[in-house]
């Protein structure tokens, strides 16, 4: 997921594909080189399409990405194992103009997915 989040900062689709293969700190470090570019225009990109950072279309794109991640069995297992604990992300920014995914956007999606997975498990 970090690779995808960092790839959104890059307009070039071929380079995006490469960045999507990166993980964790490696992806984050790579994406830092593109922070000033996307922040100056508040635009992110996916497959050649521009998304205004604070648009509904961008939020829908991120929702689809998290929904796809939630099909991964290991991700499901780990997320559900958090039970009813409050999810936090202390590294994240609260300002959408400064980050591709705020702490609230990240944690609320995880919490929603966890609730859905728990409901499915109950049958």
Tokens 């929702």 sit on residue: 63
pTM, full prediction: 0.92
> Residue 34 has what pLDDT?
97
DSSP state letters, 78-119: HHHTTTTPPP--TTS-S-TTT-SS-HHHHHHHHHHHHHHHHH
pLDDT 10s digits, 49-105: 999 999 999 999 999 999 999 999 999 999 999 999 999 988 878 999 999 999 999
> Residue 39 has what pLDDT?
97
| Percent above pLDDT 70 for the chain | 100
* Domain locations in the chain as residue ranges: 2-122
Contact 16, 46 (CB under 8 A): yes
């Amino acid at each position: 997921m970090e690779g995808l989040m960092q790839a959104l900062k890059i307009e070039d689709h071929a380079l995006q594909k490469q960045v999507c293969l990166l993980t964790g700190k490696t992806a984050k470090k790579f994406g830092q080189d593109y922070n000033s570019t996307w922040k100056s225009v508040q635009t992110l990109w996916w497959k050649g399409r521009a998304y205004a950072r604070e648009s509904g279309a961008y939020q829908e794109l991120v929702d689809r990405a998290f929904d796809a991640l939630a099909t991964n069995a290991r991700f499901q297992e780990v997320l559900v194992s958090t039970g009813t604990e409050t999810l936090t992300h202390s590294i994240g920014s609260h300002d959408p103009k400064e980050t591709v995914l705020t702490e609230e956007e990240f944690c609320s999606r995880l919490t929603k997915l966890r609730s859905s997975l728990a409901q499915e498990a109950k049958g």
